[in-house]
Structure formats: C-alpha cells, structure tokens
Amino acid sequence: MLSILRAGLAAVAALTLVYPWSASHALGTAAGTNITNTATLTYSVAGTPATALSNAVTVRVDELINVRVTGPAAATAVITPDTNKVLLFTLTNVGNGPESFNLTPSLTVSGDQFNPTPGSAGQLFLDVNGNGQLDSGVDTPITGPLALNADQSARVLLVSNIPASLNSGDQGFVTLTAASTTAGAAGAAPGTTLNNLGTPAVGGGTVNAVVGAGPGGIADSGADDVANGAYLVAGVTVTIGKNILAVTSASGVTTTGCNSGSPLPACTVFVPGTIIDYQVTVTITGSGTAQAVQVIDNVPANTTYLANSIRFNSVARTDVVDADNASCAACGNATGAVSVVVGDVPVVAGTPVTHLIHYKVVIN
C-alpha cells in the first residue's frame, strides 16, 4: 500500500481505499429464511417400538434494518480556494437483508470556521476503482438511493469546493447521513415492526421489517446513521501519485512513456519476466514546511523487487539502511517495502516542490 507519513501535519491524513463493495458483518440469519422444527415421539406398545411426529412449526425470519456510516479518521488538507476535494465515507448494511438507503450530505455544520460548497464535479460518488480519489468517467455519481445487500459496504466520496480568503488552520465540518428507504423506518425506535415491509434475502413471500439499534444503543434508531468529516486549511499540502514510467520486456526491449492510468499500446503487455519501472511523485505546495515526509511503497504481490533499483530524484540509492535516504532491506519476492525519507520540505507560495522516486520489479 502506498502511503505518506506526515508527522508535521498530524491533523491531515490520506485515506486508503479498497473496493467500493466489500464484506462486513450482517446480523444473523438472512431475512426470509424459514426455520422449521418437528418433534419426534418414541414409545412401545406390547414391546413393539413405535414413533410419532408432531406437526411442523415454521417461522420466517424478518428483516432487521440496520446501517452504519463511518467517516474519515482525520481532516483532509485543502488550500484556499480549492476545488473538488474528497472526503471518504463508508456505508455498511449491518442488517440481515437487502436494503436501500438515501444519502444526505450537510455542508453547514456548527462549530467550524467555514462552510464548504458542493463540488463543481458533483457531490456524491461511488469510489469504483477504490483509490480514494475522484476519477472522472470512472467513479459513479450517486443520484438516488444506494442499494446494499446484507454484509455489503459502499465507499462513498463526498466532494466539496473550498471558499477563498480562509486562514490557515480553519476547518469546515460536513456530515453524511444514511437513512433506510423503507417507509416508517428512518428515525423509528429500535424494535419497531413494519408489517410486510421487509425485503427477504432468500425465498419468496412477504416478511416484516424490524428496526435495529444504532451505535447509541436502545435509544438510537439503527435505520439511519450519520458520520462526520472535516476539511482543514493548511499552509502546506502534500500529495502523492504513482504511475508506470517504463517497462522492459522479457526479451530486453525497454519502452518508456507508460502510464498506469491510460497505458500506451506499447506498454500494455505484462507477462512473466517483464520489468516494471514505477515512478512515485511527491508534490508539496503552499507556504511553509512539510515536516517528516516519508514514502512507504510495498512490493506488489506476484512480483520480485529488482535489487538496488531505487532512485531518488534520478540519483541511485542503495537497498540497505545507511546514510542515504532510501532503503528496501527486506525486499524480495512480494516481500518488503521501498522506504524513502524525504524529510522536512520548505516551500514558498507559487513554487511547488516535487520529488521523484523510482524503483523496479519483475513479474514472477
């Protein structure tokens, strides 16, 4: 996983995303499941064994409506003004059946210094490729209720613009609320039964819906939930990107100009024995000093790190931990991580500072 550690900007953290849909923890047996029980009686008459069966008793499991929204762990760094800045929220259906949820963002939350405005690209998106960034043409705008099966999560990007003329350290708070679309569910007390309004996960027929308890316990409706996020105006902003700089075929032919997001035709063949030259770009903008900047990049699965291939700003670095600022001491076949300590980086307004990190792996 690629990450930047910014000790001097502790309130500003990059979030790591996986896939837009992932497993969570639904509560118990799936809605619509039939639970059938029959008792057996054994006895004897004149020494002859006999049995008798009771009538079958069948119950059908109702749908439990329960949702959780998780917000970003830390504020997202922004400048003033800024556009289309992303906060990552995770929506999870912890009920036991399929359910749809309305998502409502709020950009006017008390206690902050400014109100963000809806992003010029849109306000809510599904993070389709799981990279935590807003990718035009890839991430899907959310324009209506979001449907989730039991045990499913959706990673939601809340996108905002940042006003001009703010002060460093100002914060803008936002919230994201998810509410069940089942009539009468949102806000209802835990245990509320909604007759014949459940959505069965298995089988057919009609089931009831029952409102679960939220994170606050028995006084908190589980049919809706809200989470917080924040933007932080920082004097310095640190961003990171990664692409494929070049590939070398198994026959030794090197092609440059590759890009992992939209590879050129000559860079689309990746077979065992192909060498991939990764480029990591760290960009510092604003006015001030980004402190203790460090890059950690794990060696990808199904590849082997090419020894002594690290370059920092085009200067070769050794793999061992020594006087230079890079290492990959434990790197090998899908093991270890490239580590580059960039350190404190001063920057002045209007003059971004960029550092380039390269290293190579070979496809197993």
E strands present in 54-97: 57-60, 63-65, 67-70, 76-78, 82-93
The β-bridge relationship of strands 76-78 and 224-233 is parallel
CATH topology of domain 64-233: Immunoglobulin-like (2.60.40)
Instruction: Please state the pTM of the whole predicted model.
Output: 0.69
Q: Residue 174 in contact with residue 158, Cβ under 8 Å?
A: yes
Q: Residue 120 in contact with residue 161, Cβ under 8 Å?
A: yes
Q: What is the SS3 assignment for 7?
A: helix
Domain boundaries defined on the chain: 64-233, 235-363
Burial 189-214 (b: 16+ CB within 10 A, else e): ebebebeebbbbbeeeeebebbbbbb
Q: Alpha carbon of 161 to those of 87, 116, 177, 231: distances in Å?
A: 11, 6, 19, 10
Sorting pLDDT into bands at 50, 70 and 90, what band is 80? confident
235-363 CATH choice from 1.20.1070, 3.90.550, 2.60.40, 2.30.30:
2.60.40
Give the pLDDT mean for 233-262: 83
pLDDT tens profile 20-51: 334 445 568 999 888 899 999 999 999 999 99
Fold match flag (64-233 vs 235-363): yes
Tell me: pLDDT of 17 over 80: no
- Angle CA 157–163–165, to nearest 5: 145
DSSP lists the bridge partners of residue 295 as 4, 340
pLDDT tens profile 142-173: 999 999 999 999 999 999 999 999 988 899 99
Phi, psi of 133 (to 5 degrees): -115, 160
